[in-house]
Amino acid sequence: MPILPLFTTASICLFFIVQTDNPLLVILATDSVLYAGLICVVLSGLLAATRRSPPRWNYDVFALGTLMIWSAYWREFIRVDAPLFHFYPVFFVLLTGVFTLFIVNPGHRFDADTLSRMMTLYRLKPFSVPVLAGLTLASLYFPNHFVMYPLVLSLLILRYAIGTCLDTHDRLKNAA
């Protein structure tokens, strides 16, 4: 299963909606989708601040919310037939798949040096969740810099994958 199932499923759906020129494209450009995305982002922030849910759901709901905001907000600035709308959802699906296959799943087999380097990266202040989440949200409001959103969101997903890998390794180590 991918590390962010809701986000991955939404990305696949977005890809098929755009690719098949589905009538749902009209709905994606509405304020309702934008507000639903904002609700997801705020909800994930509140759940993370109160520690009421597992981090995986916070990351997943946050990524889903930003995808909804991106699909609704950017339609005003970029044509729907632009490659951007066709390839970013595919990029996100491939990204979560690659991180799942090559970081999370084999995490228990990494050597101590690799885990140490992952921990160093995980603890970097510019790589922290508030910084990356803030940059992700800020990137949504710069439609002229269209690579910024997927880049920053990729870093956030990478941070989550590394954290999941380290948690799994620690859990297995403590169980043994």
- Rounded Cα distance, 165 and 121, in Å: 13
Over the stretch 38-87, which tens digit does the pLDDT of each residue have? Answer: 999 999 999 999 988 888 999 999 999 999 999 888 877 777 667 777 78
Over the stretch 30-49, which tens digit does the pLDDT of each residue have? Answer: 899 999 999 999 999 999 99
pLDDT of residue 22: 84
| Number of domains the chain contains | 1
Q: Do 44 and 136 touch, CB atoms closer than 8 A?
A: no
DSSP state of 142: -
**Helix crossing, 5-19 with 55-73: angle to 10°?**
20
Q: Using a cut of 0.85, tell me whether the model's pTM lies above it.
A: yes
Q: Tell me how long the chain is.
A: 176
- Rounded Cα distance, 43 and 50, in Å: 11
Residue 50: CB atoms within 10 Å? 8
What is the chain's mean pLDDT, rounded? 90
Q: How many helices (H) and strands (E) does the chain have?
A: 8, 0
Q: Tell me the residue range of the domain where 142 lies.
A: 5-175
Tokens 């949504």 correspond to 140
